[in-house]
């Protein structure tokens, strides 16, 4: 079938809907204790997520799924520029909101905007536009490597001022994937990887808490009541769930033992309450998103669509597996949310907007996927 409009990838829509429903069901359980403790209402965080996350997210999903994805090429640079201004705004008194020693949010009355969550999508839109436009010249450092380094350097610098190393890692890896898929020379990729490794170790050296996280990763039993408390509580939750779990709503760790129970650590609550079977089921759902997303990218009608689809699906699935891997100590604790599942309206709205764009690309693929 030639490229043109046809039915979208309904399978991907169903998979994404299942993950979102899964997340809301688990958020209802994981959040009830902290919601009551902070707001006097066991359902406060769930209601907030339904209103500002799911409600707004579905509206934007319908728009991005309907709007021809080529439109975003015209707005890629202005959107990224606006996003960078928002990254700067988090440091302004009276506008930026600080929590847990980090300044990552902008206050908008009853809700908060986290610019780094939106940045994941606007950065992908920009890189896809940049490399699709300079497809033939990407092997020339002036048209490929240098522009990529400049914009990535600005973004990494602003993110690390917050600080938010987990988000920085996700954005850097997704950027590297898009650069690779665009046809970047291997030597340019090697320089980037070497530079990123050097930056990573520098960031660990200048911030003692990052070195402590790495030490705990190598030895989880170290200082279980101090620097190792978070990961040890997560492992306790996951281990106590066993194969079938303690039962929905019966988590013990959510009673203010496990830090960030509605955010970074929600997978530990899933494993504790639903057990290994439903935890693996969630992983398989993300693998299904990866498969469907890359099929869409492969069949995209142009380079821009291919890079955009691959960038979106790489971001969502890579972030999911970094979050889960950190909870089971396959990698050091990173502090990033689980897409579609963790609490956070900015994250859910942006993820649904991205899925909408992916669905629009699926309607224009060379053949039905």
Partner residues linked to 164 by β-bridges: none
State whether residue 106 is helix, strand or coil.
strand
pLDDT at 64: 98
Q: pTM for this one? A: 0.92
Query: What is residue 101's predicted lDDT score, i.e. its pLDDT?
Result: 67
Report the pLDDT value the prediction gives residue 218, as an integer from 0 to 100.
67
Return the residue matching tokens 């821009």.
Answer: 304
pLDDT of res. 358: 98
| Grouped pLDDT means (10 residues each) for the chain, 369 residues | 74 98 97 94 96 96 97 96 93 81 78 91 96 82 88 91 87 95 91 87 74 70 73 92 95 92 95 97 98 96 96 98 93 88 96 98 86
Q: What is the pLDDT of residue 267?
A: 97
Helix, strand, coil share (%) of the chain residues, nearest 5:
65, 5, 30
Residues 217-235, buried b or exposed e (16+ Cβ, 10 A)?
beeeeeeeeebbebbbbbb
Cβ atoms of residues 60 and 348 within 8 Å? no
């Amino acid at each position: 079938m030639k490229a043109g409009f046809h039915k979208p990838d309904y399978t991907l829509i169903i998979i994404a809907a299942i993950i979102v429903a899964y997340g809301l069901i688990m958020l209802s359980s994981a959040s009830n204790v902290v919601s009551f403790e902070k707001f006097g209402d066991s359902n406060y965080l769930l209601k907030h997520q339904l209103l500002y996350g799911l409600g707004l997210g579905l509206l934007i999903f319908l728009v991005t799924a309907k709007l021809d994805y080529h439109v975003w090429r015209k707005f890629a640079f202005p959107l990224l520029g606006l996003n960078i201004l928002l990254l700067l705004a988090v440091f302004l008194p009276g506008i930026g909101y600080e929590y847990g020693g980090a300044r990552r949010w902008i206050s908008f009355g009853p809700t908060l905007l986290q610019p780094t969550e939106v940045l994941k999508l606007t950065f992908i839109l920009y890189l896809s536009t940049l490399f699709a436009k300079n497809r033939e010249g990407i092997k020339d450092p002036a048209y490929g490597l240098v522009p990529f380094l400049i914009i990535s350097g600005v973004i990494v610098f602003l993110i690390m001022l917050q600080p938010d190393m987990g988000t920085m890692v996700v954005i850097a890896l997704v950027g590297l994937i898009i650069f690779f898929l665009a046809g970047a020379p291997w030597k340019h990729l090697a320089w980037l990887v070497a530079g990123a490794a050097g930056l990573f170790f520098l960031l660990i050296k200048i911030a003692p808490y990052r070195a402590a996280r790495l030490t705990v990763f190598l030895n989880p039993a170290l200082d279980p009541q101090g620097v190792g408390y978070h990961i040890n509580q997560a492992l306790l939750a996951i281990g106590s769930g066993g194969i079938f779990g303690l039962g929905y709503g019966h988590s013990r760790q959510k009673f203010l033992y496990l830090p960030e129970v509605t955010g970074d650590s929600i997978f530990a609550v899933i494993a504790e309450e639903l057990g290994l079977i439903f935890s693996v089921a969630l992983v398989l759902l993300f693998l299904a998103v990866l498969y469907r997303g890359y099929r869409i990218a492969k069949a995209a009608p142009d380079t821009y669509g291919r890079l955009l689809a691959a960038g979106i699906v790489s971001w969502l699935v890579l972030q999911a597996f970094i979050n889960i891997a950190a909870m089971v100590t396959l990698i050091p604790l990173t502090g990033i949310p689980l897409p579609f599942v963790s609490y956070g309206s900015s994250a859910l709205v942006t993820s649904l907007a991205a899925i909408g764009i992916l669905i629009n690309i699926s309607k224009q693929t060379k053949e039905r996927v």
